[in-house]
Amino acid sequence: MNPDSRIMSFLAKLGDMFILNVLYLVCCIPVITIGAATTALYYNTLKMAENRESYVWREFLRTFKENFKQATIIWMIILVIGAVLVGDFLVMGGIGSQALASVTAIVVIVVGVFLILTAVYVFPVLARFDNSVLNIMKYALLMAIRHLPSTVVILAIHSVPMLLAFASLEAFIRGLLPVLLFTVSILAYFESKLFSRIFSNYYPKTEDYDFAHYNKKNRGGFLTWQNRQK
């Protein structure tokens, strides 16, 4: 069989998805490493979505290590804000003033929506661009709002496992093994198709810029509003 055939290409990509999924799940076990693991996941799925060669095992571990500090700080910020929002939500029922309870509910909902939008974009942004932690989070939120139609689709893809569980919990549990082995990387791949198109708006518009040779490690990451190269 021709190694360059579509079937072989599909099988090779499926194998990469399996490896990527296992690496991701293993690296998420300590919980605190979820941010770095997610960044490494999207680094690889973005390359796959753009049909660029990716050495999954090696590049996952390299990007996991390179982005560990920033990704972990971002993940901790998201967890802390999320915990505060959950705490506020739980105590709302005990607030005596109806007006104060309503205001608190509105604030919790608005901040919660912003947090979700930021969390969905922030690790793919970190996987592709260089900047400070706060700027990465800010730009992630701005991208999510600016490209709202794509954001809605990405959120829908994110929701697939939950929708399947709600539709038939028994069937979801029976299919848990294939879900664990493939679903995360496959969903990230489809999301990366959208992220790649979104991010293309923020690369430098120069004639000699060859995106095919893009590599964040080799100072290839850009943001139009602040070009900060490491």
By the 8 A CB rule, do 57 and 30 touch? no
pLDDT tens for the chain, 230 residues long, are 555 567 777 788 888 899 999 999 999 999 999 999 999 999 999 999 988 877 898 999 999 999 999 999 999 999 999 999 998 888 776 666 777 778 888 899 999 999 999 999 999 999 999 889 999 999 999 999 999 999 999 999 988 777 766 666 666 666 666 666 778 999 999 999 999 999 988 877 654 444 434 445 443 444 544 333 33
In a domain, 227, yes or no: no
pTM of the model: 0.83
Residue 55: domain span: 6-218
What is the residue type of 75?
Answer: W
In a domain, 225, yes or no: no
In a domain, 1, yes or no: no
Total count of domains within the chain:
1
Distances (CA, A) of 153 to 26, 143, 148, 190, 224: 27, 14, 9, 10, 24
Per residue in 111-125, pLDDT tens? Answer: 999 999 999 999 999
In a domain, 226, yes or no: no
Distances (CA, A) of 130 to 26, 53, 207: 26, 21, 21
The first and second tokens of residue 115, run together, are: 């947090």
In a domain, 68, yes or no: yes
In a domain, 165, yes or no: yes
In a domain, 224, yes or no: no
